[in-house]
């Protein structure tokens, strides 16, 4: 005997509301539908409305007929196994409902197509009360809210936000909209810039969302695209070193988490960012790779292979391309590593008499020590008596062993432009140089020999004209 068993509405609601959507991911899922409807303008309204917030996503897409609206409000309206239009950003036919229900208990959809407007709504309080899937739907006659074709998605009863019970709730809500703007600017940056499909304008409460390209293409270097398994297009970008761009550009392209955290693969599906800054478990995030970002482009026919989740926020590379991706990490990150290696080499070779010397122990540990051969250190130690010189060497050894390496590394990773060595005044440099020259002459060297040694030190070489004028 075959028998149809209807799912329990109350249980299914709780399951659908617990899929793990973030606020940003939920909004992005709604936007996907607007893009699939060929919208060129998407406006988001986030309103507190006397401590009862509501969210609206408005688009100028093609809109829906009553039949299309009813189907769109159906749970599982499309099978992920069915072939989709090439530019369709949908996946399971659940996004409109699951994304909305994850944030709000009431979903209202208003749409216009062929000069007719319709409204449909789900109220989860009603569904829970009746334990049945009752949806309200009506034709909107004589209402001018929708002047042109398009769709409005409205969330009410947003119970995921703290409201009256939390004194800073309004500020938190406003912060949420700020974070949403950054999310949209990144996830849909190709659509905003017009690099993929029709150019689309986004705004939040009237403020335009700008494209946030993570690859800094104006100054980055990239390797030729590679097609993997006839479906994936991969392009590597090596971002510029902080010395080759402005402080503003460096900060903008770091991302909130910084360069170290934002290295890795950026996976796009039909031009829409799915997941960012991950090596998919194929490599570790290293300082030497922090300028390396790699884009991967797939289409919606690859969803099952990449195990795209319902939220469209995570994916897993197919087994048959993981080996090639692992190889590409090494090959693609080489330009980034070279940039740092080149600068590191230049730093090491800068002075004949460096004040800090770099040593590598037999255990491959790197140690920095103050050079006793630096003219300034030599002058100090030899100017002291034997007993004081011994104490001075002990103090120098203490300084060597207490270098705040972790703090320096953290500060450099976060923002290298803000990590600077305090500058000496010209007077301090000149006075110091004169003392050293006097010391060398007393040791039997000529002025010319003393000058020659001093010019091997970058600090003095770079300020030689000022030193020479004072002699």
Note down the domain range covering 320. 221-347
User: How far is Cα 268 from Cα 30, in angstroms, rounded to an integer?
Assistant: 17
- Exposed, middle or buried: residue 363 (CB in 10 Å: 0-12, 13-18, 19+)? exposed
Q: Would 236 be classed as within a structural domain?
A: yes
Per-residue pLDDT tens, the chain, 471 aa: give them.
Answer: 888 777 788 888 778 888 889 999 999 999 999 999 999 999 999 997 666 889 999 999 999 999 999 999 988 655 444 455 655 565 445 779 999 999 999 999 999 999 899 999 999 999 888 888 889 999 987 666 788 899 999 999 998 776 555 667 778 888 889 999 999 999 999 999 999 988 999 999 999 999 999 999 888 888 889 999 878 999 999 898 877 888 888 888 888 888 889 999 999 999 999 999 999 999 988 888 888 999 999 998 888 899 988 888 889 999 999 999 998 888 876 655 555 555 555 445 456 667 788 887 777 778 888 888 777 788 788 888 788 888 888 888 888 888 888 788 777 766 666 777 777 788 888 887 887 788 778 777 888 887 887 777 777 887 888 777 777
Same-domain check for residues 75 and 126: yes
CA angle 446, 450, 456 (to 5 degrees): 150
User: How far is Cα 96 from Cα 332, in angstroms, rounded to an integer?
Assistant: 38
CATH number at residue 82: 3.30.565.10
Instruction: Identify the domain boundary among 145, 178, 208.
Output: 208
Yes or no: say if 152 and 72 are a contact pair by the CB < 8 Å rule.
no
In angstroms and rounded to an integer, the radius of gyration of the C-alpha atoms of the chain is 31
- Give the strand pairing for 41-47 and 201-204: parallel
Yes or no: say if 342 and 288 are a contact pair by the CB < 8 Å rule.
no
Q: Would 216 be classed as within a structural domain?
A: no
Same-domain check for residues 289 and 386: no
Same-domain check for residues 45 and 182: yes
Model's pTM, two decimal places? 0.72
CATH number at residue 265: 3.30.230
What region, left, alpha or beta, does residue 115 occupy, with left being phi > 0 and alpha being psi -120 to 50 degrees? left
pLDDT, position 150? 95
Same-domain check for residues 341 and 380: no
Same-domain check for residues 201 and 265: no
pLDDT, position 91? 47
Alpha helix (H) residue ranges in 42-164: 66-73, 95-103, 124-130
Same-domain check for residues 306 and 393: no
Q: Would 293 be classed as within a structural domain?
A: yes
Q: How far is CA 382 from the centre of its chain?
A: 53
- Give the strand pairing for 366-370 and 292-298: unpaired
Yes or no: say if 161 and 175 are a contact pair by the CB < 8 Å rule.
no
Same-domain check for residues 35 and 130: yes
Q: How far is CA 266 from the centre of its chain?
A: 10
Q: Which residues touch 147 (CB under 8 Å, ≥6 apart)?
A: none
pLDDT, position 295? 96
Three-state DSSP at 420 gives coil
Three-state DSSP at 332 gives helix
Instruction: Identify the domain boundary among 166, 184, 208.
Output: 208
Same-domain check for residues 330 and 435: no
pLDDT, position 286? 84
Same-domain check for residues 360 and 340: no
Q: Would 303 be classed as within a structural domain?
A: yes
User: How far is Cα 370 from Cα 353, in angstroms, rounded to an integer?
Assistant: 11
User: How far is Cα 379 from Cα 427, in angstroms, rounded to an integer?
Assistant: 18
Q: In what order do the strands lie in the sheet with 150-156?
A: 136-139, 116-123, 106-113, 150-156, 54-59, 41-47, 201-204, 207-208
Domains contained in the chain, number: 3
- Give the strand pairing for 264-269 and 292-298: parallel
Instruction: Determine phi and psi for 263, rounding to 5 degrees.
Output: -75, 160
Yes or no: say if 298 and 231 are a contact pair by the CB < 8 Å rule.
yes
Same-domain check for residues 108 and 74: yes
Same-domain check for residues 384 and 410: yes
Same-domain check for residues 115 and 254: no
């Amino acid at each position: 005997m075959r028998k149809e068993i209807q799912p329990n509405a109350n249980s299914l609601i709780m399951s659908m509301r617990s899929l793990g959507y973030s606020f940003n991911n939920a909004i992005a899922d709604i936007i996907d539908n607007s893009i699939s409807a060929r919208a060129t303008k998407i406006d988001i309204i986030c309103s507190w409305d006397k401590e009862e917030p509501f969210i609206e996503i408005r688009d100028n897409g093609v809109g829906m007929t009553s039949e299309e609206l009813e189907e769109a409000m159906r749970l599982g309206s499309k099978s992920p196994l069915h072939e989709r239009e090439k530019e369709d950003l949908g996946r399971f036919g659940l996004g409109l409902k699951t994304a909305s229900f994850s944030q709000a208990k009431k979903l209202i959809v208003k749409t216009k197509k062929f000069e007719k407007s319709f409204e449909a709504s789900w109220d989860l309080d009603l569904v829970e009360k009746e334990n049945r899937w009752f949806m309200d739907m009506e034709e909107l006659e004589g209402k001018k809210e929708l002047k042109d074709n398009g769709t409005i998605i409205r969330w009410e009863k947003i119970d995921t936000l703290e409201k009256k019970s939390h004194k800073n709730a309004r500020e938190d809500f406003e912060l949420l909209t700020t974070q949403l703007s950054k999310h949209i600017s990144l996830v849909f940056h190709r659509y905003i810039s017009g690099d993929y499909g029709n150019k689309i304008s986004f705004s939040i409460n009237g403020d335009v969302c700008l494209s946030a390209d993570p690859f800094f293409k104006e100054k980055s270097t990239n390797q030729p695209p590679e097609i993997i398994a006839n479906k994936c297009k991969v392009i590597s970008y090596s971002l510029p070193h902080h010395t080759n761009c402005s402080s503003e550009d460096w900060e903008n392209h770091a991302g909130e988490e910084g360069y170290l955290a934002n290295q890795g693969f950026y996976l796009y599906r039909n031009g829409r960012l799915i997941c960012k800054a991950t090596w998919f478990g194929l490599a570790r995030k290293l300082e030497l790779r922090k300028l390396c970002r790699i884009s991967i482009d797939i289409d919606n026919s690859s969803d099952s292979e990449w195990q795209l989740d319902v939220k469209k926020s995570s994916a897993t590379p197919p087994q048959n391309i993981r080996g090639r991706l692992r190889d590409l990490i090494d090959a693609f990150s080489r330009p980034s590593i070279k940039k740092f290696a080149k600068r590191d080499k230049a730093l090491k070779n800068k002075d004949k008499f460096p004040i800090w010397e770099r040593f590598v122990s037999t255990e491959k540990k790197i140690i920095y020590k103050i050079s006793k051969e630096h003219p300034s250190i030599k002058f100090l130690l030899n100017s002291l008596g034997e007993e004081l010189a011994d104490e001075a060497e002990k103090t120098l050894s203490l300084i060597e062993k207490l270098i705040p390496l972790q703090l320096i590394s953290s500060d450099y990773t976060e923002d290298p432009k803000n990590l600077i060595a305090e500058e000496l005044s010209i007077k301090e440099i000149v006075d110091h140089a004169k003392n050293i020259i006097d010391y060398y002459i007393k040791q039997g060297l000529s002025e010319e020999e003393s000058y020659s040694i001093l010019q091997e030190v970058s600090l003095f070489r770079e300020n030689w004209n000022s030193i020479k004028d004072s002699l």
